[in-house]
């Protein structure tokens, strides 16, 4: 942030003056929306910061924050920063062991937990976190009979803070004035796709300059509204729900729970929205399931006007020339189909929507844009304070991630790896100078680990993780992520893992989408008692085989990837799960782990066998371990002759 407002707490004091009565944050609790203005937020943070100080929180201390998106948890970030401390959010669905690693590695002296569930995890690992001295809880329900030694209530801390503030009226502002933009603002732990999570240290300058640049680029103002529902430990939420909110002054709404996000979104009607591709895919799956259950005439009308939208919707959105008849039909479609559909999705007021984290299927991307939703892609990393590239209005392409974000430079290394430098480039990895030196060069260029190229329009196209891009035995390129994203386009397929590097051909593991396939089973009177039983059903295999063969047909038209057509596949007997170590907490596939865990199945796919037995350890929701076994079918998919032309 330019000028004197170079830290979050300094911005807070300014927003409390400039946008005093403007809504800053909302929360839905017990079915009722509660709103705090910027002036009220400043008062809440002031009393919390003073309460922390009264309990011994000092400059440089770390405050672990664990829970769902809650105003008090966001306030705790600013309170810690006001005292020169560093917030360290942890993923709320982490197990106790994962949480213990983050708390111990960060050396957190204080922890703020949302509720009893999170407190229990902290108490379970407290003996192994010798630095942890004080646990504060937000929600008092269920906490009546706990030993209160080193355990305190959020409201009690604030009460102590108000008393401390009265006795030391200049303390809060004085502490804020000591801060500077080069101070560490937050430590965010990476999801650990390839190993132990790393603590990414971002300064106030990293976050605020990036936030200011992107707010200006997209024209965000205090009149915008967004929904905070993604994990607070994820850098995307930190930028969208915290950084950009403080810079632009717009209000952020916290849903009642993860289960009510879509309902709460319809009530709030955000103007600015971010979601990873999985959320947009799930929304589209829900729409398509509902349409299958709709009356015949309604179905016909939906499909007719969606065809109109696919032809002209994107052109209308980009302000390009469209015939009078097409524009008229699109207008009718907007009244009858697109408007009601956007209202159902809670997207009626959306002015700007972003997606990132994984590649999104072009058809899914174009579906939303055809409805008139200004949906764009960006490419980023925790180490970049999110933004590396972003798509400019009017230059949005489904297969690229845009041009460099403001003040960001990108280059492609000799090995095809994408590298960048800019204002968001992280300070360092906490307690890990070796990893810092491996990732960031002395002159500030960051290795992304992603392979890509810049197209003729100056837009970046990401192919895959550089280390995952391999070659088949015939020398053809094998890009597993690219194949997996094409498979996941189909609503029946929730997750896919492909194999082929240094092999004669490509193969795949498939996870079905239980909601989509379960709905199909109900409509076709197919009985099933479990995910495992449904996944093994012959008709489900036929359905998935059709999807695989459609992907193969597409690949045949791409000269670079035609050899990567999938020869054999199986449907896994269980869903890939973060609790079983197969996915990260941000739902990215841990490829190496899966290769080790399921090597028997991989060997089976590359044999002549048509079935393979496996027994797998699983983690139940209550933390207990168990095992499930299955004799899995392995199917051969049709492959198609490579075409000479590319697209």
**Residues 62-82, mean pLDDT to the nearest whole number:** 98
Burial environment of residue 17 by CB neighbours within 10 A (0 to 12, 13 to 18, 19 or more): exposed
Beta strands in 289-341 (DSSP E): none
Please give the pLDDT value at position 108: 98
Taking only the tens place, the pLDDT of each residue in 112-136 is 999 999 999 999 999 999 999 999 9
pLDDT tens digits along 311-332 = 999 999 998 999 999 999 999 9
295-299, 443-447, 581-585: least confident range: 581-585
Name which of 254, 69, 173, 125 is nearest 111 in CA terms. 125
pLDDT attached to residue 643: 77
Determine which helix (DSSP H) or strand (DSSP E) holds 153, and give its type and residue range: strand 151-153
Q: Please name the helix (run of DSSP H) or strand (run of DSSP E) that holds residue 300, with its range, or none.
A: helix 296-317
The pLDDT assigned to 363 comes to 78
Q: List, in order, residues 6 or more apart from 218 with CB less than 8 Å away.
A: 352
Angle separating helix axes 154-167 and 38-54, nearest 10 degrees: 90
pLDDT at residue 191, rounded to an integer: 73
User: In the predicted model, what is the mean pLDDT of residues 500-514?
Assistant: 95
> What's the confidence (pLDDT) of residue 502?
93
Q: Which position has the higher pLDDT, 539 or 584? A: 539
Q: Would you say residue 10 has pLDDT above 50?
A: yes
For residues 102-121, give the mean pLDDT. Answer: 97
Please tell me which residue, 435 or 358, carries the higher pLDDT value.
Answer: 435
Cα–Cα distance list, 414 to 418, 441, 442 (Å): 10, 16, 18
C-alpha angle 299/484/310, rounded to 5°?
A: 35
Q: Is the pLDDT of residue 282 over 90?
A: no
Asked, colleague to colleague, whether 8-207+228-257 and 470-636 share their fold, the answer is no
pLDDT value, residue 642: 86
Give every CB contact of residue 294 below 8 A, 6+ residues apart in sequence: 302
Rounded Cα distance, 34 and 36, in Å: 7
Q: Which residue has the tokens 């399921």?
A: 598
Q: Which residues pair with 187 in a beta bridge?
A: 201
Rounded to whole angstroms, how far apart are CA atoms 76 and 113? 11
pLDDT at 644: 58
Which token pair is 18?
């400039």
| Terminal Cα distance for the chain, rounded | 43
Question: Which tokens sit at 76?
Answer: 């705790």
At 193 the pLDDT is 57
CATH superfamily of the 8-207+228-257 domain: ANL, N-terminal domain (3.40.50.12780)
pLDDT > 60? residue 646 = no
Tokens 């168990």 found at: 626
DSSP 563: G
Tokens of 474: 């015939």
Q: Which of 174, 242, 149 is nearest to 204 (CA)?
A: 242
**Percent of the chain predicted with pLDDT > 70:** 98
Query: Rounded to the nearest 5°, which phi and psi values hold at 207?
Result: -75, -45
pLDDT of residue 290: 82
Task: Pick the closest to residue 540 from 577, 574, 511 (CA basis).
Answer: 511
Q: List beta partners, residue 630.
A: 614
Domain segments of the chain as ranges: 8-207+228-257, 470-636
pLDDT at residue 470 in the model: 86
What pLDDT, on a 0 to 100 scale, did the predictor assign at position 647?
Answer: 39
Contact call for residues 456 and 449 (beta carbons, < 8 A) = no
Per DSSP, helices labelled H in 318-398 are 324-333, 339-345, 362-370
The backbone region for 445, taken as left when phi is positive above 0, alpha when psi lies in -120 to 50, beta otherwise, is beta
Q: How far is CA 9 from the centre of its chain?
A: 26
Both structure tokens of 534: 């449904």
> pLDDT tens digit string along 180-189?
999 999 999 9
CA distances (Å), origin 566, targets 162, 433, 451, 466, 497: 64, 41, 22, 21, 11
Residue 357 DSSP symbol:
S
Q: What is the pLDDT of residues 150-180, one digit of tens each?
A: 899 999 999 999 999 999 999 999 999 999 9
With b for 16 or more beta-carbon neighbours within 10 A and e for fewer, the 434-446 pattern comes to ebbeebbeeeebb
Structural domain 470-636, CATH architecture:
2-Layer Sandwich (3.30)
The single residue listed with the structure tokens 């994962």 is 98
Average pLDDT, the chain: 93
Q: Is the pLDDT of residue 530 over 70?
A: yes
User: Tokens in use for 411?
Assistant: 């280059």
Neighbours of 363 (CB within 10 A): 13
**Phi and psi at residue 548, in whole multiples of 5°?**
-60, -45
- Angle 126-130-134 (CA atoms, 0-180°, nearest 5)? 60
Is the pLDDT at 645 greater than 50, yes or no? no
User: CB of 132 within 8 A of CB of 111?
Assistant: yes
What is the pLDDT at residue 192?
A: 65
Instruction: Give the torsion sign (CA, 238, 241, 242, 244).
Output: positive
Q: How far is CA 303 from CA 113, 187, 372, 550, in A?
A: 47, 47, 16, 21
The sheet that has 375-381: what strands, in order across it? 272-274, 352-355, 375-381, 386-390, 403-404
pLDDT given at position 579:
87
Q: Are 283 and 265 in contact (CB under 8 A)?
A: no
- On whether the CB atoms of residues 135 and 122 are closer than 8 A, the answer is yes
User: What mean pLDDT comes out for the span 7-14?
Assistant: 98
Pairwise CA distance, residues 335 & 328, whole Å: 11
Task: Assess contact for 352 and 368: CB atoms under 8 A.
Answer: no
Burial 589-627 (b: 16+ CB within 10 A, else e): bbbebbeebbeebbebbbeeeeebebebeeeeeeeeeee
Distance, in Å, from the CA atom of 285 to the CA atom of 296, rounded to the nearest integer, reads 19
Helix (H) or strand (E) holding 159: helix 154-167
Q: Please state the length of the chain.
A: 647
List, for residues 588-600, the tens digit of each pLDDT value: 888 889 999 999 9
Residue closest to 77 by CA, chosen among 19, 27, 11: 11
């Amino acid at each position: 942030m330019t000028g004197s407002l170079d830290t979050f707490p300094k911005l807070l004091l300014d927003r409390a003056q400039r946008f005093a009565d403007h809504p800053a944050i909302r929360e839905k609790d017990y079915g009722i929306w509660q709103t705090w203005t910027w002036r009220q937020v400043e008062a809440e943070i002031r009393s919390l910061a003073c309460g922390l100080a009264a309990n011994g929180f000092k400059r440089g201390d770390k405050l672990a924050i664990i829970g769902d998106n809650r105003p008090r948890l966001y306030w705790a970030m600013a309170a810690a920063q006001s005292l020169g401390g560093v917030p360290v959010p942890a993923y709320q669905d982490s197990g106790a062991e994962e949480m213990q690693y983050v708390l111990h590695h960060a050396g957190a002296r204080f922890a703020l937990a949302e509720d009893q569930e999170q407190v229990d995890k902290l108490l379970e690992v407290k003996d192994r976190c010798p630095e942890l001295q004080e646990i504060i809880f937000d929600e008092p329900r269920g906490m009546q009979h706990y030993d209160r030694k080193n355990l305190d209530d959020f409201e009690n801390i604030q009460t102590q803070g108000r008393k401390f503030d009265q006795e030391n009226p200049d303390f809060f502002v004085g502490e804020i004035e000591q801060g500077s933009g080069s101070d560490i603002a937050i430590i965010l732990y990476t999801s650990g796709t390839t190993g132990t999570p790393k603590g990414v240290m971002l300064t106030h300058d990293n976050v605020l300059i990036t936030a200011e640049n992107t707010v200006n680029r997209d024209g965000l103002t205090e009149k915008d509204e967004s929904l905070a529902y993604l994990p607070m430990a994820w850098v995307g939420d930190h930028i969208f729900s915290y950084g950009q909110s403080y810079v632009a002054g717009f209000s952020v709404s916290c849903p009642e729970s993860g289960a009510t996000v879509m309902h709460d979104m319809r009530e709030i009607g955000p103007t600015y929205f971010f979601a990873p591709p999985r959320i947009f895919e799930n929304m589209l799956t829900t729409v398509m399931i509902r349409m299958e259950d709709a009356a015949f005439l309604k179905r016909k009308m939906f499909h007719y006007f969606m065809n109109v939208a696919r032809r002209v919707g994107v052109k209308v959105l980009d302000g390009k020339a469209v015939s009078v008849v097409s524009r008229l039909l699109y207008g009718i479609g907007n009244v009858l189909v697109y408007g009601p559909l956007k209202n159902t999705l809670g997207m009626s007021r959306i002015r700007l929507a972003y997606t990132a984290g994984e590649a999104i299927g072009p058809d899914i991307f174009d579906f939303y844009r055809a409805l008139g939703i200004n949906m764009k892609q960006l490419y980023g990393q925790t180490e970049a304070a999110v933004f590396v590239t972003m798509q400019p209005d009017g230059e949005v392409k489904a297969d690229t991630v845009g041009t460099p974000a403001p003040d960001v430079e990108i280059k492609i290394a000799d090995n095809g790896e994408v590298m960048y430098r800019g204002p968001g480039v992280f300070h360092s990895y906490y307690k890990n100078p070796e990893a810092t030196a491996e990732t960031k060069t002395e002159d500030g260029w960051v290795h992304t680990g992603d392979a890509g190229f810049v197209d003729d329009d100056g837009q970046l196209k990401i192919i895959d993780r550089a280390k995952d891009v391999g070659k088949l035995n015939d020398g053809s390129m094998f890009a597993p992520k690219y194949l997996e994203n094409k498979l996941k386009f189909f609503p029946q397929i929730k997750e896919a893992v492909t194999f082929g590097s240094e092999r004669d051909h490509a193969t795949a593991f498939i996870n079905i989408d239980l909601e989509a396939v379960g709905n199909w089973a109900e409509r076709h009177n197919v009985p099933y008692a479990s995910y495992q039983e449904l996944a093994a059903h012959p008709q489900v295999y036929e359905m998935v085989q059709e999807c695989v063969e459609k992907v193969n047909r597409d690949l045949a038209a791409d000269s670079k990837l035609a050899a990567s057509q999938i020869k054999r596949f199986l449907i896994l007997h269980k869903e890939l799960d973060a609790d079983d170590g197969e996915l990260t907490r941000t739902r990215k596939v841990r490829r190496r782990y899966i290769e080790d865990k399921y090597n028997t199945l991989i060997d089976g796919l590359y044999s002549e066998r048509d079935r393979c037995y496996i027994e797998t350890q699983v983690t139940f929701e209550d933390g207990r371990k168990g095992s499930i076994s299955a004799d899995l079918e392995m199917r051969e998919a049709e492959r198609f002759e490579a075409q000479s032309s590319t697209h």
